[in-house]
Amino acid sequence: MSAVTVSSGDAEDLVRAKAVLLESGVGKRRLGPEALRTALVDLHDFWLTSRAAAIGLTDRAALVAVGALGRRELAPWSDLDLVLLHDGRKDVERLAEQLWYPLWDAGIGLDHSVRTPGQAVQVATLDLRAALGLLEARHIAGDATLSDKVRAAVRQAWRAGIRGRFDELADTAQERWRKVGDVAHRVEPDLKNGHGGLRDIQLLDALAAAQLVDRPSGDVLEARRLLLDVRTELHRLAGRARDVLRAQDADEVAAALEIADRFELARALSGAARSVAFATEVGLRSARNALPRRGLAALRRPPVRRPLDSGVVEHGGEVVLARDAAAPRDPALVLRVAATAARTGLPIAAGTLHRLADTAPELREPWPRAALSELLSLLGTGRPLVDVVESLDRTGLWGRLFPEWGAVRDLPPRDRAHLWTVDRHLVETCAQAARLTTRVSRPDLLLVGALVHDIGKGRTGDHSVVGESLALQVGRRLGFSDADVTVLGQVVRHHLLLPHTATRRDLDDPATIRRVVETLGGSGLVLDILENLAEADALATGPGVWSPWKRMLIQDLVHRCRALLAGEPLPAPATASAAAAELVATVALDRKPQIRLDDRTDPATVMVAVPDRPGALAAAAGVLALHSLEVHAAELPTAEQAAVFTFTVSPRFGGLPDPALLRSDLVRVLDGSLMLSDALARKERDYAPISPSGEPPAPPRVLWFDDEATGAVVLELRGTDRIGLLHRVAAALEECGADLRWARVATLGASVVDSFCVAGAGGAGGALNKAERRRIERAVLAAAA
């Protein structure tokens, strides 16, 4: 306290002293987060103690701190939670006013109450939040005996009444988790209220105070320190109270904590939060089983042990080891316990997990057949798999089975489409694949392939290439045959082949189909596994990534590949339909655009025929965007009298629009009476999604790929989804004189990967030289910005 001077009368001094602490510490060096919290607690304790002495708060009254100050976890802008205790002093109102008013006048956030000991205990028995606060009460000033009396009485009442309050305690936590979500998996986590956040650690402390569980373990205390440090730096950076770590602040917070970047910070937070979440869930289960039994319940016989599998029984609603089970002589025991838990939906008892972690040896290579069988049984359970793997991973058992897991554990995704950390995404993909096992001849290879398809992430190099070598290693260790190991490696190496080809290449081009079949070595088995893995992977990535359109594209690609494998002729490219010919004839007659909408398929098809003129494609795409239609693909053949565009579309919201309205607006755009750019700008302003963090979108990128047979090239645009993006890009390409053959749009959450098959002006030969590519690329990036 030597660096600042604090008056006991003026809380403005307290504010000024806090400002000095936030800017520097001893020797003008910035205080670290833990040192800053300690200094802030000492500062406020000193001012409150001095103030209490100055106003005569000595005997028969006491000032206690609850909340962040009571726990000594005071962040820079945390509110002060104070309780003035008294045993009937007549001047208690004067004491309260002389304590609270200086703090209010200085703009310091304050939650306060005035209680007698009896009132404090009564409030704690009626109000759960007040009880949790008073359990953490810390004496600040005045009569310490009074503080100790209240603290002891509240704790005694808490222990005595916990059986009647436990359901409320657990339900409150579950409701909070449902509303706020997981700290580990949110892009912008709530460090205080989220599942795995600071409130969960306080919940564990409350259960320990009720003598139902032990005090939090070392890994939970380490997690608490990191969560507090991040929250402290977030307060310091924001200049106000904030519990949600926004993406735009993460790099600065990481730098303050000397962490490499926001991705490393996200990984550290994920690991910390998952440790807290696991400990909280185990703590609630253990506490429920430890609740004191009274009345008739005390006379009931304790729960019996019900056999579930060899060496595995149920006891008290949990999966536990049988009395004679021993992991050293039963190599499949860990996986049998896990598979049984997933199959029955019962959690594995914490004691069982720790016992297995202490006694289970590493499995020798190759695994015993029984161990592989239990692993496949576990992976095939679907959704229950997720919680079981989490419990194994948090106790070190999963990493013992799969040492390769360490590189992806808590690894944050690098793109916004992914909802989960990489390790959680692998397990989610496996859970999705379990629903698809009846579609393939080798469900075991589909399940293991799903579990390890992204195992190469977190390492240097292409994750598919790195993942292939790791998958071969895993396959040999699990005991698969050499042929199966080869298939597993191919599945991991090429797990992106089908979705990338289907959404970014011309499926009518026989060279495209031949390339896929040759890449897979002509294996129909690998093709079948990859088809189903593509669906499971997309479903486990995030909402909206798997769509009827993507399913249709991949099914079409697989159908063509199977035809080639069977020696059957490939489907001929689609020719102009009778409907298209009718539209062209109408356009040639009256020189007005024509539109036909077919909603018999999902997604729907919109056929647009317009007089062949510059800007026709951009106009048609813009009108579709104006009517809230999301374009998935565009086929762009040109007839002699007219241009015919076939769009595959689905409504962004609501239903499909009236084709007559589409035609009316397209006529107005083409004759200049409707300014499309202005209308789209208004549409985007009113309906475009807003980033909750306010973070600017990532800059767009352009990649080029050769198209094998036509001599044209594929321009791939990666960027942020925007209303009217296809309109802008088409206009830019048309202005550059590029010949656009087809377009496909893949939407991944808020991001898009748009592919355009283009040729040079006039289309002769189709080739684009470097200068043309640079010119087109600049125009497309400007349109997508």
**Per-residue pLDDT averaged across 769-773, rounded?**
87
What is the third-level CATH fold of 402-565?
Hypothetical protein af1432 (1.10.3210)
Any idea which residue has 């063509």 for tokens?
560
pLDDT value at 3 more than 90: no
Domain 181-294: assigned CATH number: 1.20.120.330
**Per-residue pLDDT averaged across 129-143, rounded?**
96
pLDDT value at 417 more than 70: yes
Strands 138-142 and 306-309, how do they pair? unpaired
Give the pLDDT confidence of 88-104 residue by residue, as tens digits.
899 999 999 999 999 99
Candidates 724, 722, 738, 727; CA nearest to 772 is 738
Q: Identify the band that residue 419 occupies on the pLDDT scale cut at 50, 70 and 90.
A: confident
Greater confidence, 341 or 547? 341
Give the pLDDT confidence of 39-61 residue by residue, as tens digits.
999 999 999 999 999 999 988 99
Q: What is the pLDDT of residue 44?
A: 95
Biggest alpha carbon–alpha carbon distance for the chain: 102
pLDDT value at 693 more than 50: no
Take residue 490 and report the two structure tokens written for it.
Answer: 């191919």
Q: What is the pLDDT of residue 394?
A: 93
Greater confidence, 11 or 174? 174
Q: Identify the band that residue 706 occupies on the pLDDT scale cut at 50, 70 and 90.
A: confident
Q: What is the pLDDT of residue 766?
A: 53
pLDDT value at 639 more than 70: no
Name the percent of the chain lying above pLDDT 90: 66
Q: Identify the band that residue 369 occupies on the pLDDT scale cut at 50, 70 and 90.
A: very high
Give the pLDDT confidence of 479-493 residue by residue, as tens digits.
999 999 999 999 999
- Count how many residues are written for the chain: 785
CATH 1.20.120.330 in the chain is located at: 181-294
Q: In what order do the strands lie in the sheet with 138-142?
A: 110-115, 80-86, 61-66, 138-142
Between CA 109 and CA 334 the distance in angstroms is 52
What is the third-level CATH fold of 11-162?
Tetracycline Repressor; domain 2 (1.10.357)
Q: What is the pLDDT of residue 641?
A: 67
For 263-300, the DSSP string reads HHHHHHHHHHHHHHHHHHHHHHHHHHHHSPP-GGGGGS
Quote the pTM value: 0.84
**Per-residue pLDDT averaged across 223-244, rounded?**
95
Q: How far apart are the first and last CA of the chain?
A: 52
- Of 63-77, 301-315, 705-719, which gets the smallest average pLDDT? 705-719
For 744-784, the DSSP string reads EEEEETTEEEEEEEEE-GGGSS----HHHHHHHHHHHHHHH
Take residue 599 and report the two structure tokens written for it.
Answer: 């909603």
**Per-residue pLDDT averaged across 176-200, rounded?**
94
Q: Identify the band that residue 726 occupies on the pLDDT scale cut at 50, 70 and 90.
A: confident
Q: Identify the band that residue 581 occupies on the pLDDT scale cut at 50, 70 and 90.
A: confident
- Of 403-417, 704-718, 729-743, which gets the smallest average pLDDT? 704-718
Q: What is the pLDDT of residue 21?
A: 86
CATH 1.10.357.170 in the chain is located at: 11-162
Query: In whole numbers, what is the pLDDT of the chain averaged over residues?
Result: 89
Q: What is the pLDDT of residue 296?
A: 55
CATH 1.10.3210 in the chain is located at: 402-565
- Of 202-206, 208-212, 665-669, 701-705, which gets the smallest average pLDDT? 701-705
**Per-residue pLDDT averaged across 204-232, rounded?**
96
Q: What is the pLDDT of residue 1?
A: 42
pLDDT value at 638 more than 70: no
Q: What is the pLDDT of residue 710?
A: 54
Q: Identify the band that residue 764 occupies on the pLDDT scale cut at 50, 70 and 90.
A: very low
Strands 110-115 and 80-86, how do they pair? parallel
**Per-residue pLDDT averaged across 762-768, rounded?**
54
**Per-residue pLDDT averaged across 451-470, rounded?**
97
Residues 6+ apart with CB under 8 A from 52: 58, 63, 99, 140, 141, 142
Take residue 225 and report the two structure tokens written for it.
Answer: 């320190």
pLDDT value at 284 more than 90: yes
**Per-residue pLDDT averaged across 669-677, rounded?**
90
Residues 6+ apart with CB under 8 A from 458: 407, 408, 411, 422
Q: What is the pLDDT of residue 749?
A: 61
